[in-house]
Amino acid sequence: MLKGAHCFWSMRTQLVAKVFDGGEIKEGEDKRGEVTQEIRIPIDTGIAGRVATTAFKLAPIASAETEHVFSTMGEFVTPQRRNLSFDSLKQYVIINWIKSLLYRKVQQAQKKILLTNELMLYHMKNLSVDEVTALLSEERQNVCEKWPGIDTFRFNVRLTIPYCETVRCVLNMFHELGFIHRWNLDMDTLVQFSLTVKQGYRDCVSYHNWWHAFSVAHFFYLICKNCAHSVASQLSELESFVTFVACLCHDIDHRGTNNSFEINSKSTLASLYSSQGSVMERHHFAQTVAILNSGSCNIFSTLADNQFKQALDILQNNILATDLAHHFKIMGQLKDMSENGYRPDDEKHHELLLCLIMTSCDLSDQTKDWNNLLEVAESLYEEFFNQGDLEREMGGQPNEMMDRHRAHIPEQQISFLDNVALPCFSLLSNLLPDTSEALQEVELNRRRWQVVKNEVGDKPIMVKGKLDIRHLDVDKLLEKEEEDKTDFKTAVSENQDNSNSSQVTANSKH
């Protein structure tokens, strides 16, 4: 106890202390890997024994110099320690006792977390042997041959590629982007990693599931294919490789609720991560690391030690970047970089560009056609409304976007596009000009939502989980709107010409 040690009873006849400075200690070693110092004293000896046997019922001691509990401590109490005031020493002993109890609670919590991770990995490791074997036996092929147009921004993976083919497509993208060859990836490890990540997403979550992860990874594949020269000159090979992995893992084990809900509900995840911010994103990263720590899934095992550490840093930064709160914080820096030019030799610019790419990939559903957008909106609002229902059950009042009775979807979508998606893809287009096609589709979808808003007004459009606007031929309405605008401009121009002509005639007569 006098050395700030973790102290416990041994068969109730001895006090045993292992000296430590805090943190988790392996049996027989301290946190530096050295053998811990162990102190054993009889239970009825010294100050620690007095505290232990009297359960803190300490009688007043007039003099520490003459008190027998000090004199029986032998080598553990020096003359200097005897000269300490007893009140100070008593407080010191009690504080260390409490520290000992807290340390044990920390150890128990660490073991619970370890057990939870083991349980999660156990369930995710129940991979189909037949599926693993089938994927390993196939030759990797160019995805463009199997899915023509998959390398274009207009390609819609959700409505084109069967769910059962998604992992196979991921493996082929790894191959086509050169990651397997460049990093000497073991195919058995890569297959198990990909399948384990897929199983790490919850099927009961309507939007933030494996389909979303697959779509996000596909958009980064599109960036690499369509902006190959820019990406090669602006990002390192390791950054590109890890970013593709981050896209696959960025929402793993999402529960269908956002950070605010986790914090307000005082969930287990909030208790672990709320002090650091980005609760769900930190959980996604932790789950990804848990998968990588499994020997059969560690696709980073072929990296050198310094590359491995760098890869984990990139992975963490990229996953945390998908928190929109983080995106808004760095928006000013992104605008400055866009206006003043990207500097490949600036480490901060690398980090900012990766953050922007991750946010763009995360929002990439907004770059697809109208049918895809309706599917996504239905899934997303089902998730939002489920959270709103939970908040109401807890006695709270969900905000309008999460409230199935108050949500005005067209208006909210327009606001989201104006304030989040359009600025994001505009910056991406400035830095990677070959992504301009994606920006144009976002702009078009913004106009489509405006047409819907004009048609439905304030009427609720979500009925039994489906958007009740599919009967609207939005593109035809948009085309008619454009024609009306053109006719109006023509009429205004003709009136102006007639007015000018009349004025000229009048001046001529005068």
Residues classed as catalytic: 208
- Classify the C-alpha dihedral 4-6-10-16 as positive or negative: negative
Helices 422-431 and 331-340 sit at what angle, rounded to 10 degrees?
30
Cα dihedral 195, 200, 205, 208 sign: negative
Close Cβ partners of 237 (under 8 Å, ≥ 6 residues apart) = 182
Question: What is the spatial distance between Cα 359 and Cα 425, in angstroms, rounded to a whole number?
Answer: 9
Q: Contact 366/383 with Cβ under 8 angstroms?
A: no
Look-up of token digits 């973790």: 6
CB atoms closer than 10 angstroms to residue 166: 20
CB 34 within 8 A of CB 26: no
Within its chain, how far is the Cα of 63 from the centroid?
Answer: 60
| Residue 96 · residue 4 · CB < 8 Å | yes
Reading the block at residue 84, the tokens are 């300490």
Alpha helices in 345-458 (DSSP H): 347-362, 370-393, 409-416, 422-431, 436-456
**CA 40/CA 10 separation, integer angstroms:** 9
Residue type at 69? V
For the purposes of burial, counting CB atoms within 10 Å of the CB of 481, is it exposed (0-12), middle (13-18) or buried (19 or more)? middle
3-state secondary structure of 147: coil
Place of tokens 């390791």: 238
- Which residues share a beta bridge with 41? 15
Element (H, E) at 104: helix 86-124
C-alpha of 339 from chain center: 28
Non-local CB neighbours of 82 within 8 Å, separated by 6+ positions: 64, 65, 70
Within 13 Å and on the Cβ side, how many CA atoms surround 455?
21
Q: Read off the tokens for 476.
A: 């035809």
Question: Length of the chain, please?
Answer: 510
d(CA 241, CA 179): 6
